[in-house]
Amino acid sequence: MITKWMTNYMAGHDAQEGIPLNALQKEFLEKNGLLSSDVKVLEAPAFAPSYSLSNKETDEPIETPVNAGKLAVSYVKTQPNDYMFAEESLFATIGIDGIVLEMDDVFGTITALFGLQVQKKHGEWLKKYIDAQLGTAPGTRSLMFSSDDGLWDVNIALDYVDGFSENDTFDETLELVYKFVFNMLIALEEEA
């Protein structure tokens, strides 16, 4: 999966002009012999998702702050009726279209929700991996396979992710989620 998505990502760039890669991507490609020596590697631009703010109950859009990416992610705790949706082109390299960040009304944690393009048969493995990384406290994670779109609906409490802080910006938080999922997919591919 991750190999396929990273290969597609590289194919979308001209190797002579250069392929922007972050350290995580570059390390993975080199380790797996997928980065030939004639490929010019460029430093990846800063993580810069596009954001939209909406009401949880109605999904009606709300005016999104201009500097949303630079706001502390604790914003969703101070605005518990809202959620922030983010899109970033790099999400395609981990099988995700977009990520919702919101406060869990029951547990009071900041959660990341996303659809993950992983086959249904890997469900038990995903659950074990996330539990091993985040623990098994109530509200830590929720996974459900949607037969309609063939995606795992994943909900993880970021409060349990190593390195997370409510003081992190939305951009920093999404980069953390990206790294978490990227590493999870590497581990899955090594297991499969």
| pLDDT (tens digit per residue) in 10-32 | 888 887 788 999 999 999 999 99
pTM: 0.93
* Residue 22 sits in the same domain as residue 92: no
What is the tens place of the pLDDT at every residue in 37-64? 888 899 988 888 999 999 999 999 999 9
Residue 81 shares a structural domain with residue 101: yes
Tell me 11's DSSP state.
Answer: H
Percent of the chain beyond pLDDT 90? 80
Which two tokens mark 162? 């190593």
| Shared domain check, 68 and 38 | no
Query: Residues 69, 151: one domain?
Result: yes
Q: Which residue has the higher pLDDT, 36 or 151?
A: 151
Q: What is the CATH number of the domain that holds 174?
A: 3.30.1460
59 and 75, same domain (yes or no): yes
Q: In this structure, are 31 and 54 located in the same domain?
A: no
State the alpha helices, DSSP H only, in the chain: 2-11, 23-31, 75-78, 123-134, 170-191
Residues 31 and 80 in one domain: no
Both 82 and 34 in a single domain? no
Closest residue by Cα to residue 4 from 176, 137, 188, 180: 188
What is the tally of structural domains in the chain?
2
Task: Let me know whether 73 and 165 are in one domain.
Answer: yes
pLDDT value for 45: 83
Same domain for 36 and 63: no
Q: Identify whether residues 94 and 39 lie together within a single domain.
A: no
| Residue-range definition of the domain harbouring residue 38 | 2-43
**In whole angstroms, what is the distance from residue 165 CA to residue 88 CA?**
21
Residues 64 and 141 in one domain: yes
Amino acid symbol at 28: F
Q: Which of 184, 173, 83 is nearest to 143 (CA)?
A: 184
- Give the count of alpha carbons within 13 A of 14, CB side only: 2
- Considering only the C-alpha atoms of the chain, give the largest distance between any 2 of them, rounded to a whole number of Å: 52
pLDDT of residue 44: 87
Long-range contacts of 179-184 (CB under 8 A, 24+ apart): 179/24, 180/133, 180/156, 181/94, 181/96, 181/114, 181/116, 182/2, 182/24, 182/25, 182/28, 182/93, 182/94, 183/24, 184/126, 184/129, 184/130, 184/133
